[in-house]
Structure 1
Amino acid sequence: MDALDREIKDLIIESLALEDLRAEDIDSGAPLFVDGLGLDSIDALELGLALQKRFGVQLSADAADNRKHFASVDALAAFISAQRAA
């Protein structure tokens, strides 16, 4: 698990108060919503705010790409990396 994946997983656990999970329990390629981790729309808002604070990424509530960016930890890592490179 690379450092960015680990940091995103830790942020998910911390910001959503998922105390019964460890970073190792989250599959980087698994869906974050519904199936997989089972997050919902409220979780998405909280996670989005946490990502903005921690990584300084810009998210728009109505952006069509948000669904793609929040698909998995891998997708979030790719999005954050792209934002950092820009």
Structure 2
Amino acid sequence: MNNLENEVKALIIEALNLEDMTPEDIETDAPLFGEGLGLDSVDALELGLAVKKRFGVSLSGETEEVRAHFRSVASLAAFIRENRTEEK
């Protein structure tokens, strides 16, 4: 697993206050919503803001394309890798 995926997992835990979880508890390719991690639309908003703040990447609007980026840690990490504006 690469560092960006681990960083995304840690960001999910931090941004959503998932205190009982560790990055190892989150599967890289598992869905973030529904039957996977079980996130909801409020979680998506909070995570989107955290991603923007940490990586300088904006995910705006509720489009099919945005949903695709939030499918899994792997897809979100790939989107960040392609679009990040600053290295932190």
Shorter-normalised TM range? over 0.9
Deviating above 3 A after TM superposition, structure 1's stretches of 4 or more consecutive aligned residues are none
Pairs within 5 Å for 1:2-81 = 2-81=2-81
- Normalization by structure 2: what TM-score? 0.91
> Would the aligned equivalents of 2:48 and 2:58 in 1 still touch at CA under 8 Å?
no
- Normalization by structure 1: what TM-score? 0.93
How far 1:64 sits from its partner (Å)? 3.0
How far 1:76 sits from its partner (Å)? 0.3
RMSD value, Cα: 1.2
Q: Between the two proteins, what is the percent identity of the paired residues? A: 60
Partners in 2 of 1:70 and 1:46 — Cα distance? Answer: 12
Between Structure 1 and Structure 2, how many residues are aligned?
85
> Any stretches of 5+ residues in structure 1 without a counterpart?
none
CA deviation string 1:15-60 (max 9, x = no partner): 0000010000100000000111000000000000000000000211
How far 1:62 sits from its partner (Å)? 3.4
Aligned partner of 1:18: which letter? L
How far 1:84 sits from its partner (Å)? 3.0
